[in-house]
């Protein structure tokens, strides 16, 4: 063949030359046919050899202009760049070429059949993969042994089944006869659901193959239906696992030969390929694509279930084209109702059946089964019956396999017999696939129901879409994404530091991802967490371990247990939920002498949580961290001895209840769970407060229902809730019913109710506001006395940063009575408003409700406050109404005993400082007027009801300030009946009302004159000296507006902390220390009084961040402050040394201020007479 082609080419070339010569001769002759002088081809201006180039020197065939032949010299076949023998090989790559001068590519020796790359015997195997090849020199592929009928890939007996174990006629793969002796098909190949579990043939876990005679399920789930990825290939169970030929297959390992339903081929030539498109394929691992004898419902082009959708994949009832029913089915006898997202489905559960129950309930009631197909990735599925038409109290549960209770994913039963029929269940991060939803009765009864399934879409910052069209998609690339859970990609107006195109930290690297200080484009700073230029790795969020090597790591850190001057690797671990964490390098992959330690701040050794080196026999570290809040940790793998090496770092996370559901004060602000403004719901993982106050804590009646914020707003179940909108059905703690049958109804009286919006009256242990303990050590115990208690069920006594109206020493409703227990609008000190109730309470309605001859508070022994709703006397009289001198001071009961504030007061003993007489609810001067309604009271801070001033403008019947309003309580400028002027901040000076706030001649008081050129600011000459953070070396000269309210030496003690607080009653307080005799204060820090005196608890390291300072305060442990984010180690005073120059600490015990401990870096000052401490208040100068 090659020789013929070669001869043909030479002949063609010769003919071409002859034609060319004739043409040339004709073109050169004259018009008369005579022959003229011949012009050489290499200068005649023609392309004689038709190679695209003309004449010398352009044409390579021309050696000179006189050359008579343009034809190029032909290169040998083995260097001409052509495949001359058409064998796919060119020139020297062709086995027929021995060298560059070889002019024949075609004379190679033929390859043996076992080396030629061909399937010579057409058995599907090539060369050495063919059983007929002994070695590469073997020239016969065809002499392999003939396979048996039961292993030849053919349906030899034409029964629709191929080979072992599929063909019932095959006893083994070596069986030479596929013929069935009995034509009765086995149960696993008869296209019937023989065991009634809704699954048939290969889809039934009772079937190990089509030859299996019984569909009966076994006690243990086989590998191909156990919900596990047994072979670790990322695919789970039949029908998706290629290694599973049936749901009852006990091995997921993929076989050597691809299954017919997963090989990408149309094996049965029906135009459909593999599972789920081929009607003959029940799963990817199905070994036979042959279509069933009768078309399946999901491949017959008919709308069998009349839902408007036909066949797979259009009809959601079809799992594949092999599915025999378009109607979603639970079992062969029980259909499931197909549901779609957003639609409401209504019915009566009595039409259901009594076949199933969930792990949380449903026994004794009929259930209905709904089928939902999830086709795309979502954040969650929400299933709810909280709909107007629903009347059924339900147990809702969800399964992947309808009839298999072992596949239940979640089950939730709503509270029973609470008068509310509403249940909402959330399934987080569901995988794409089929779900069976059961609506079951929770009380054993049936009824009308309404249910809705909703898909919660992925947050914008993880949905793979560029939602804000800025060319960047999702976290961490989009600068508008703070995290994967961020639901808004919109970029901020001011670009973050890690996306602003600037090298903000001057390290030569700009923005994410180049700057290692940027974890995302949205990062607000480029600061390198572990130090300038020190890199760390992120621990993969979806992995349980990471392999690494300390070789080549940093050499900058050491742990508390070792690692000095050794190489280490650093991992940032992001903890996404409250958990107990265990980090370990105690693994076979780790070399000896490897330690591990963890910090909350990479560069700060003081934030180390734990460090471990292992033991002598096994020097590989393991650290266990308990109650770890969401956030980031830095885990160091360091070297103990040697140069380091390979390691495996593992993590084990034991999830704990969310931070807002664990009954702990996780952020140390004195508030717990629902009561914490940082908690928006039960699944909120942390109690950290947001910068912007949420709707349920912003002081605004957002829904206009007359109720403001948690805990009184019906729409606020959590203080951190983002909506006040009332639910469609009243919550259990605001519905007027005794839902838990304990004889107490609703908030604030029900111990199980944390707020009026609480959905459950069930008691969850004893809350702090009902445990008879003064948990916050403010001298007030439980509801209704403690201002930190919104109700009996309040979890924490911690007082809020801003006092509630019923404990703020202000007559907010201007009725002349101030706060609890004296204002009838106050049922408790923690009430947020003094406004009177629509109907007066029993203890302020001028009626003798209990017929004991005594009317209302404060005279009635049964009235604990003016807002008390019951006058009934207690079984045993209180000390202030029992006719006894309980405190042996010669005075008996109210109103004679000064310790008794009202007849129902429980103690005659005077505790602490009594309330001011103009705020004690008592007619102290017996003139028939009480507190602010008494003309002897200038304001709630006035301690004398009798000192009536002449010419008081707020009780003279004249509109002195010409604002159209006259006197108290009508004129807002009047703080009380006895106020001197009708304008706030004014005082009566020489018969005229003067501005005591800004008048330099009457600054803070009449005739107090400021020096020349010194302004009066807020009643202080020069203004109150205010600052942020901690200041050092400050002289007394600049502390304008401050007055000392406590001063002693570090060695002094026994001052009552409560007395100190009472004396320091200005809006602001300041703490400081110095060496005796020093002209300057070594340290001072200031803040709002309520924030500085916020109780942070005993025996803990909780801090209260305020005004650029981290404060701690306890009447039985210690008082002090530290620099922000520097941490504290209280024992009982602070012994930490990080930024020691900014630390101040004084011991307290049993409510007393004891010896001091530290002033800056100087410690051990408990008995020192060389250091003094001082507390200032801003009360001086205020009118």
What's the 3-state SS for 1123-1149?
A: CCCCCCCECCCECCCCCHHHCEEEEEE
Nearest Cα to 833, choosing from 711, 702, 977? 711
pLDDT band at 413 (very low <50, low <70, confident <90, very high): very high
**Domain co-membership, 358 together with 475:** no
Most confident of 895-899, 974-978, 1108-1112: 1108-1112
Which DSSP string corresponds to 247-271? TT-S--PPPSS--GGGSSS-TT-SS
- How far apart, in Å, are the Cα atoms of 987 and each of 148, 946, 981, 1017? 115, 19, 6, 16
**Domain co-membership, 1034 together with 1156:** yes
Nearest Cα to 82, choosing from 68, 97, 70? 97
Residue pLDDT, tens place only, 918-942: 887 778 787 888 889 888 898 887 8
Secondary structure (3-state) at 369: strand
Residue 999: how many other CB atoms lie within 10 Å: 20
Asked if the model's pLDDT at residue 348 lies above 80, the reply is yes
β-strands 537-538, 568-575 pairing: parallel
**Domain co-membership, 1076 together with 1174:** yes
**Domain co-membership, 996 together with 1049:** no
Asked if the model's pLDDT at residue 370 lies above 90, the reply is yes
1109 pairs with which residues across the strands? 1106
Q: Which residues, at least 6 apart from 69, have a Cβ–Cβ distance to it below 8 Å?
A: 41, 42, 48, 61
The answer to whether residues 229 and 191 touch, using CB atoms and an 8 Å cutoff, is no
Query: Is 940 a domain residue?
Result: no
Residue pLDDT, tens place only, 756-789: 999 888 766 678 898 888 887 777 889 999 998 9
Average pLDDT, integer, range 901-929: 77
Residue 976: exposed, middle, or buried by beta-carbon count in 10 A (0-12, 13-18, 19+)?
Answer: buried
Distance CA 505, CA 306 (A): 66
Give the model's pLDDT for residue 25. 39
Domain edge (last residue) among 1022, 1046, 1074: 1022
Distance CA 106, CA 95 (A): 8
**Domain co-membership, 614 together with 521:** no
Structural domain that includes position 606: 544-656
CATH number at residue 355: 2.60.120.380
Cα dihedral 796, 799, 801, 806, rounded to 10, equals: 120
The answer to whether residues 1064 and 1072 touch, using CB atoms and an 8 Å cutoff, is no
Asked if the model's pLDDT at residue 6 lies above 70, the reply is no
Question: Of residues 116 and 370, which shows the higher confidence score?
Answer: 370
Q: Label residues 341-357 b or e (16+ Cβ within 10 Å = b).
A: eeeebebebeebeeebb
864 pairs with which residues across the strands? none
Asked if the model's pLDDT at residue 108 lies above 70, the reply is no
What values do phi and psi take at 1117, rounded to 5?
Answer: -145, -70
Mean pLDDT score across all residues of the chain: 86
Average pLDDT, integer, range 1068-1091: 94
Query: Is 171 a domain residue?
Result: no
pLDDT band at 1179 (very low <50, low <70, confident <90, very high): low
Asked if the model's pLDDT at residue 569 lies above 50, the reply is yes
Residue pLDDT, tens place only, 582-591: 999 999 999 9
The answer to whether residues 216 and 205 touch, using CB atoms and an 8 Å cutoff, is no
pLDDT band at 965 (very low <50, low <70, confident <90, very high): very high
Distance CA 983, CA 989 (A): 13
Give the model's pLDDT for residue 22. 41
Instruction: Specify the range with the lowest mean pLDDT, choosing from 611-615, 689-693, 859-863, 1146-1150.
Output: 689-693
Asked if the model's pLDDT at residue 711 lies above 50, the reply is yes
**Domain co-membership, 1065 together with 1101:** yes
The answer to whether residues 1171 and 1052 touch, using CB atoms and an 8 Å cutoff, is no
Give the model's pLDDT for residue 31. 38
**Domain co-membership, 1043 together with 1069:** yes
Query: Is 1007 a domain residue?
Result: yes
Asked if the model's pLDDT at residue 491 lies above 90, the reply is yes
Strand segments (E) across 444-503: 448-456
Asked if the model's pLDDT at residue 107 lies above 70, the reply is no
Query: Is 1117 a domain residue?
Result: yes
**Domain co-membership, 277 together with 307:** yes
**Domain co-membership, 1044 together with 1141:** yes
pLDDT band at 38 (very low <50, low <70, confident <90, very high): confident
Nearest Cα to 1060, choosing from 1089, 1087, 1103? 1089
Asked if the model's pLDDT at residue 204 lies above 50, the reply is yes
Give the model's pLDDT for residue 694. 92
Secondary structure (3-state) at 571: strand
Average pLDDT, integer, range 250-254: 90
Q: Which residues, at least 6 apart from 743, have a Cβ–Cβ distance to it below 8 Å?
A: none
pLDDT band at 1039 (very low <50, low <70, confident <90, very high): confident
Asked if the model's pLDDT at residue 51 lies above 80, the reply is no
Query: Is 154 a domain residue?
Result: no
Distance CA 506, CA 620 (A): 39
Residue 365: exposed, middle, or buried by beta-carbon count in 10 A (0-12, 13-18, 19+)?
Answer: buried
DSSP code at position 353: B
Average pLDDT, integer, range 303-307: 81
The answer to whether residues 965 and 972 touch, using CB atoms and an 8 Å cutoff, is yes
pLDDT band at 687 (very low <50, low <70, confident <90, very high): confident
Q: Which residues, at least 6 apart from 269, have a Cβ–Cβ distance to it below 8 Å?
A: none
DSSP code at position 909: S
Query: Is 582 a domain residue?
Result: yes
β-strands 1031-1035, 1118-1122 pairing: unpaired
Give the model's pLDDT for residue 165. 66
Asked if the model's pLDDT at residue 29 lies above 90, the reply is no
Average pLDDT, integer, range 1055-1060: 89
Residue pLDDT, tens place only, 1091-1105: 999 888 877 788 999
413 pairs with which residues across the strands? 395
Distance CA 787, CA 766 (A): 18
Nearest Cα to 948, choosing from 924, 965, 966? 924
Distance between the two ends of the chain, CA-based, in angstroms? 120
Strand segments (E) across 742-855: none
What is the residue whose two structure tokens read 């020239």? 139
Distance CA 37, CA 40 (A): 10
Q: How many domains does the chain have?
A: 8
Radius of gyration of the chain (CA): 45
Average pLDDT, integer, range 124-130: 80
What values do phi and psi take at 408, rounded to 5?
Answer: -65, 130
**Domain co-membership, 501 together with 410:** no
Residue 1167: how many other CB atoms lie within 10 Å: 12
Question: Of residues 812 and 331, which shows the higher confidence score?
Answer: 812
Which tokens hold the place of 319? Answer: 């799992």
Distance CA 269, CA 265 (A): 9
Which tokens hold the place of 429? Answer: 């991060």
Nearest Cα to 697, choosing from 708, 684, 687, 683? 708
Asked if the model's pLDDT at residue 741 lies above 50, the reply is yes
Q: Which residues, at least 6 apart from 71, have a Cβ–Cβ distance to it below 8 Å?
A: 17, 48, 49, 61
Q: Which residues, at least 6 apart from 990, have a Cβ–Cβ distance to it below 8 Å?
A: 1006
Residue pLDDT, tens place only, 629-686: 888 999 999 999 888 899 999 999 998 888 888 888 888 777 888 888 999 988 888 8
DSSP code at position 361: B
Distance CA 1099, CA 1079 (A): 35
Query: Is 99 a domain residue?
Result: no
Instruction: Specify the range with the lowest mean pLDDT, choosing from 253-267, 751-765, 824-838, 857-871.
Output: 751-765
Query: Is 610 a domain residue?
Result: yes
Which tokens hold the place of 727? Answer: 């639910």
Say what percent of the chain tops pLDDT 70: 93
Which tokens hold the place of 41? Answer: 């081809």
The answer to whether residues 249 and 209 touch, using CB atoms and an 8 Å cutoff, is yes
Residue 1007: how many other CB atoms lie within 10 Å: 10
Residue pLDDT, tens place only, 65-85: 888 888 777 778 787 778 887
Residue pLDDT, tens place only, 453-470: 999 999 999 999 999 999
**Domain co-membership, 440 together with 492:** no
pTM of the model: 0.50
Asked if the model's pLDDT at residue 188 lies above 80, the reply is yes
**Domain co-membership, 861 together with 990:** no
């Amino acid at each position: 063949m090659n020789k013929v082609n070669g001869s043909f080419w030479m002949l063609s070339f010769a003919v071409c030359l002859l034609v060319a010569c004739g043409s040339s001769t004709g073109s050169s002759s004259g018009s008369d046919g005579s022959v003229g002088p011949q012009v050489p081809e290499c200068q005649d201006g023609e392309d004689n050899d038709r190679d695209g180039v003309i004449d010398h020197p352009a044409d390579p065939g021309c050696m000179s202009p006189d050359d008579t032949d343009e034809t190029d010299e032909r290169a040998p076949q083995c260097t001409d760049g052509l495949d001359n023998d058409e064998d796919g090989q060119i020139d020297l790559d062709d086995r027929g070429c021995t060298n560059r001068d070889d002019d024949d590519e075609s004379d190679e020796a033929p390859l043996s059949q076992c080396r030629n790359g061909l399937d010579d015997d057409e058995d599907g195997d090539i060369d050495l993969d063919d059983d007929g090849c002994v070695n590469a020199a073997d020239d016969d592929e065809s002499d392999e042994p003939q396979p048996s009928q039961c292993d030849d890939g053919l349906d030899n007996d034409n029964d629709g089944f191929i080979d072992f174990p599929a063909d019932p006629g095959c006893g083994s793969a070596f069986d030479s006869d596929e013929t069935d002796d009995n034509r009765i098909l086995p149960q696993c190949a008869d296209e019937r659901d023989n065991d009634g579990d809704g699954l048939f043939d290969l889809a039934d876990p009772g079937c190990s193959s089509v030859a299996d005679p019984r569909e009966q399920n076994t006690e243990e789930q086989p590998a191909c239906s156990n919900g596990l990825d047994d072979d670790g290939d990322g695919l789970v169970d039949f029908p998706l696992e290629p290694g599973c030929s049936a749901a009852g297959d006990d091995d997921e390992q993929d076989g050597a030969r691809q299954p017919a339903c997963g090989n990408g081929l149309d094996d049965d030539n029906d135009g459909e390929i593999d599972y789920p498109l081929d009607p003959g394929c029940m799963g990817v691992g199905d070994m036979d694509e042959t279509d069933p004898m009768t078309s399946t419902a999901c491949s017959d082009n008919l709308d069998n279930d009349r839902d408007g959708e036909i066949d797979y994949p259009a009809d959601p009832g079809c799992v594949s084209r092999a599915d025999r029913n378009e109607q979603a089915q639970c079992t062969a006898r029980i259909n499931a109702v197909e549901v779609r997202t957003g639609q409401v489905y209504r019915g009566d559960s009595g039409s259901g059946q009594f076949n199933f129950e969930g792990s949380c309930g449903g026994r004794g009631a009929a259930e209905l089964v709904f089928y939902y197909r999830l086709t795309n990735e979502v954040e969650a599925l929400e299933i709810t019956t909280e709909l107007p038409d629903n009347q059924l109290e339900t147990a809702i549960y969800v399964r992947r396999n309808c009839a298999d209770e072992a596949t239940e994913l979640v089950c939730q039963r709503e509270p029973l017999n609470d008068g509310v029929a509403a249940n909402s269940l959330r399934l987080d991060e569901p995988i794409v696939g089929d779900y069976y939803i059961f609506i079951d009765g929770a009380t054993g009864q049936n009824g009308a129901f309404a249910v809705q399934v909703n898909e919660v879409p992925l947050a914008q910052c993880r949905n793979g879409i560029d939602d804000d069209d800025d060319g960047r998609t999702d976290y961490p690339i989009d600068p508008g994404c703070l995290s994967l859970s961020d639901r808004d990609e919109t970029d901020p107006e001011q670009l973050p530091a890690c996306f602003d195109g600037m090298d903000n930290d001057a390290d030569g690297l700009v923005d994410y991802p180049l700057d290692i200080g940027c974890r995302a484009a949205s990062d607000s700073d480029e600061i390198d967490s572990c130090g300038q230029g020190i890199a760390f790795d992120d621990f993969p969020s979806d992995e349980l371990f990471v392999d690494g090597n300390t070789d080549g790591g940093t050499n900058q850190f050491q742990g508390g247990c070792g690692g000095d001057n050794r190489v280490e690797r650093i991992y940032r671990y992001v903890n996404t939920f409250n958990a107990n964490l265990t980090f370990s390098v105690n693994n076979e992959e780790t070399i000896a002498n490897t330690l591990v330690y963890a910090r909350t701040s990479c560069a700060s050794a003081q934030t180390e949580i734990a460090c471990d080196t292992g033991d002598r026999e096994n020097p590989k570290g393991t650290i266990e961290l308990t109650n770890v809040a969401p956030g980031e940790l830095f885990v160091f793998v360091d070297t103990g001895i040697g140069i380091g090496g390979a390691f495996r770092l593992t993590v084990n996370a034991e999830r704990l209840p969310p931070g807002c559901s664990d009954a702990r004060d996780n952020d140390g602000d004195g508030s717990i769970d629902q009561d914490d403004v940082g908690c928006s719901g039960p699944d909120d993982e942390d109690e950290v407060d947001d910068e912007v106050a949420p709707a349920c804590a912003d002081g605004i009646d957002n829904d206009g229902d007359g109720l403001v914020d948690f805990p009184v707003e019906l729409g606020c179940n959590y203080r951190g809730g983002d909506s006040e909108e009332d639910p469609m059905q009243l919550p259990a703690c605001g519905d007027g019913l005794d839902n838990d049958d304990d004889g107490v109804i609703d908030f604030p009286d029900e111990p199980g109710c944390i707020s009026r919006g609480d959905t459950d009256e069930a008691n969850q242990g004893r809350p702090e506001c009902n445990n008879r303990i003064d948990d916050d050590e403010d001298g007030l115990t439980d509801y209704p006395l403690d201002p930190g208690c919104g109700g009996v069920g309040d979890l924490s006594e911690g007082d809020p940063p801003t006092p509630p109206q019923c404990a703020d020493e202000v007559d907010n409703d201007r009725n002349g009575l101030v706060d609890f227990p004296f204002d009838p609008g106050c049922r408790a000190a923690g009430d947020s408003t003094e406004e009177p109730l629509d109907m007066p309470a029993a203890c302020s309605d001028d009626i003798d409700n209990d017929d004991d001859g005594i009317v209302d508070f404060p005279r009635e022994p049964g009235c604990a406050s003016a807002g008390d709703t019951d006058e009934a006397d207690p079984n045993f009289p209180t000390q202030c109404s029992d006719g006894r001198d309980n405190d042996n001071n010669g005075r008996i009961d109210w109103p004679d005993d000064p310790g008794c504030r009202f007849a129902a007061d429980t103690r005659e003993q005077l505790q602490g400082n009594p309330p001011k007489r103009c705020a004690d609810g008592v007619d102290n001067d017996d003139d028939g007027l009480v507190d602010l309604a008494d003309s002897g009271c200038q304001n709630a801070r006035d301690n004398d009801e009798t000192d009536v001033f002449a010419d008081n403008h707020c009780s003279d019947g004249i509109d002195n300030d010409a604002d159209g309003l006259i006197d108290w309580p009508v004129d807002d400028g009047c703080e009380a009946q006895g106020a001197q002027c009708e304008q706030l901040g004014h005082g009566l000076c020489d018969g005229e009302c003067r501005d005591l706030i800004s008048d330099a001649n009457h600054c803070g008081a009449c005739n107090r004159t400021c020096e020349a050129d010194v302004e009066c600011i807020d009643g202080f000459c020069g203004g109150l000296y205010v600052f942020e953070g901690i200041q050092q070396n400050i002289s007394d000269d600049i502390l304008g507006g401050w007055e000392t309210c406590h001063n002693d030496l570090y060695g002094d003690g026994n001052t009552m902390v409560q007395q100190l607080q009472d004396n320091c009653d200005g809006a602001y307080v300041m703490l400081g220390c110095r060496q005796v005799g020093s002209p300057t204060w070594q340290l001072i820090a200031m803040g709002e009084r309520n924030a500085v005196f916020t109780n942070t608890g005993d025996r803990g390291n909780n801090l209260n961040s305020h005004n650029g300072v981290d404060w701690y305060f306890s009447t039985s442990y210690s008082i002090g402050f530290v620099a922000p984010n520097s941490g504290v180690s209280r024992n009982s005073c602070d012994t930490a040394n990080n930024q020691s120059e900014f630390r101040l600490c004084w011991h307290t015990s049993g409510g007393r201020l004891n010896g001091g401990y530290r002033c800056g870096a100087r410690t051990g000052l408990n008995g020192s007479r060389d250091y003094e401490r001082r507390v200032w208040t801003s009360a001086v100068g205020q009118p």
